[in-house]
Structure 1
Amino acid sequence: MLVYHSSMPVSKRALQVFSDALRHRRAVMGSRWRRLSAGEQALLVLAYLNKGETYTALASGFGVGTTTVFRYVHEGTDVLAATAPTLDKALDVARRKAFVVLDGTLLSIDRVGTASGYDRAFFSGKHKRHGVNVQVIADPAGRLIWASPALAGARHDMGAAREHGLIDRLNTIGVRVIADTAYQGGGPTIRVPQRRRASTPTPAATGACLAHKSKSTPHTPACVVRANGPTRNSSPGTSSARSAAAPVEQLTWSKP
């Protein structure tokens, strides 16, 4: 069995905070002896969550059994979940910010194998893979304030945010929110990018020539004029009705 060194983008401060939380849990449980220290267990759990290492690989690297890794991972995730802020605490923090960022992310998971086709609820058509939908609130610098419980990956971001009560709560307390177009119509405090609208052509632009990318042929004229525009038979004193009834003139380019 080969063992190699690796790295992950997690700060030492995060490891220290996690280790302290595990030590506190062990003290509450009255656990006297463990195969790994609290710091080693914290590192094991972070490697599993961040790198996706298997139980077998972690067991070989840390010199423990597979069942021990399974127990340590579940214990560590429970500790992390207990330290996560509630939505009320997150909104208190968001209220003191100039604005917050609301977005949804898809966390990839393995396919849920069921005979009834229940795994379809976890398949995201947008990302083309199975996962769970998590709503995230961040401060203007991008630091995480709150992450929601996971929902099925096929759930739309707006529907997931409403199910968690985010839309109503954010509008009630008046927090300015920046979000993408998935949250269109979320309320007065949720700002989303304006969707592009087709600009109405002006008369000058309508009567201008429309150049084709392909080479002009008798069947594909390279230039047309506005249907209601003046023609060769019209004069400045002609009425609008007569001008509108005038035949449409098509101009074709002649080969030199």
Structure 2
Amino acid sequence: MKKANRTVEGPDGLVYTARLPLSSATLNYLADLIRGHLKKIGSRWRALPAGKVATIVLAVLRCDQRPGDLAGGNGVHRTTVTRWVREVIGLLAARAPRLDRALKKIARKGGGVVLLDGTLIRTRRRTGADNRKNYSGKSKCHGLLVIALTDEKGRLIWVSATRPGRTSEITACRHDRLTAHLRAAGLGAIADLGFVGLDDSGPDADPAVITGYKAARNRPLTRGQKLSNKALAAVRAPVEHGFAHLKNWRVLGKVRTDPKGATAMVRALLVLTNREVAR
């Protein structure tokens, strides 16, 4: 009696379909962006049409699908999918708003304040001394720090470059000269207690960064200070919605690629997030 040791999935593996929780407007925008890039560089042929390439890239970014799995289901090589993802990320990151232009745009619309906060994007733990700087003692994990600004409704307007997880939020803001840009635009920023001490302006100048009151061991907060902290917390709550929209892209759940490319990825996702939120 002979045994049939055939694989159930066949020689090419199983292929399944899934729904992307994104709008068709985002897909069309990305496909048009790819077509324009191909026309600019004079590329006459690709293994798949621009619309299909856009769908594959969105699947990688939104659902954190493995490039090898998508490559097998579309008849291309894994390195081809990886190259498409990097190419599209570069195109989108180039369209991310700059800090000074984003603040001037808010000022032209009549806004008076922006919301400031930072978040940690987790990365894969790697061995060696080069990865020690990515360990965050505050979050007790390896990651990259990102500073973001939103408007009063929580819509993201700017994200900073990614920095090692051990970097403090104040140090990252000072590296970007955030307070100087805020004063140049005539705006103020509302932040949490992690940014206390960022604004080092004189006592007679208007503060560029507004924070709450921090209690000390021998100096508890008064009732007025507690009410002030509660009011500021209610005002800055929408900034958490902005980070929630950004982290809906599951590729940011744990970055497995080279951390050097994380800045372009976050800025590319900022462009896509704003398109999804604005529709």
User: What TM-score, normalized to structure 2?
Assistant: 0.65
Summarize the alignment of residues 79-98 of structure 1 with structure 2, pairs less than 5 Å apart. Answer: 79-95=91-107, 96=109, 97-98=111-112
Contact 1:162 1:168 in 2 (8 A): no
Query: What is aligned with 2:220?
Result: 198
Summarize the alignment of residues 245-256 of structure 1 with structure 2, pairs less than 5 Å apart. Answer: none
Q: Would you say 1:112 and 2:120 are equivalent positions?
A: no
Q: Would you say 1:189 and 2:208 are equivalent positions?
A: yes
Distance in structure 2 (CA, Å) of the matches to 1:61 and 1:141: 40
Contact 1:99 1:139 in 2 (8 A): yes
Summarize the alignment of residues 148-163 of structure 1 with structure 2, pairs less than 5 Å apart. Answer: 148-163=160-175
Larger radius of gyration: 1
What is the CA-CA distance between 1:85 and the residue it aligns to?
1.5
Aligned residues: 198
Distance in structure 2 (CA, Å) of the matches to 1:85 and 1:162: 19
What amino acid sits opposite 1:68 in the alignment?
A: T
Q: Which structure dedicates a bigger proportion of its chain to helix?
A: 2
Match among 52, 55, 59 for residue 43 of structure 1: 55
Identity of aligned residues (%): 38
Match among 4, 16, 24 for residue 36 of structure 2: 24
Summarize the alignment of residues 46-85 of structure 1 with structure 2, pairs less than 5 Å apart. Answer: 46-85=58-97
Stretches of structure 1 that go unaligned for 5 or more consecutive residues are 201-256
Contact 1:99 1:178 in 2 (8 A): yes
Q: Would you say 1:99 and 2:113 are equivalent positions?
A: yes
Q: Aligned in 2, Cα 1:199/1:22: closer, same or farther, shift over 3 Å?
A: closer
What is the CA-CA distance between 1:152 and the residue it aligns to?
0.9
Contact 1:93 1:145 in 2 (8 A): no
1:5-54 deviations in whole A, cap 9, x for unaligned?
A: 33454333322222221111011011111112222222222222222222
Structure with more relative contact order (C-alpha pairs < 8 Å, separation 6 or more) = 2
Q: SS of the residue aligned with 1:130? A: strand
1:168-210 deviations in whole A, cap 9, x for unaligned?
A: 211343312111111112221211222345268xxxxxxxxxx
Q: Aligned in 2, Cα 1:62/1:102: closer, same or farther, shift over 3 Å?
A: farther
Distance in structure 2 (CA, Å) of the matches to 1:186 and 1:87: 17
Aligned CA-pair RMSD: 2.0
1:143-165 deviations in whole A, cap 9, x for unaligned?
A: 11111111112111111111122
Distance in structure 2 (CA, Å) of the matches to 1:88 and 1:124: 29
Q: Aligned in 2, Cα 1:6/1:180: closer, same or farther, shift over 3 Å?
A: farther
Contact 1:15 1:42 in 2 (8 A): yes
Distance in structure 1 (CA, Å) of the matches to 2:179 and 2:61: 29
Contact 2:213 2:221 in 1 (8 A): no
Larger displacement relative to structure 2 (175-184 or 185-194): 185-194
Distance in structure 2 (CA, Å) of the matches to 1:9 and 1:123: 32
User: What TM-score, normalized to structure 1?
Assistant: 0.70
Distance in structure 2 (CA, Å) of the matches to 1:56 and 1:132: 26
Q: SS of the residue aligned with 1:6? A: coil
What amino acid sits opposite 2:127 in the alignment?
A: G
What amino acid sits opposite 1:161 in the alignment?
A: C
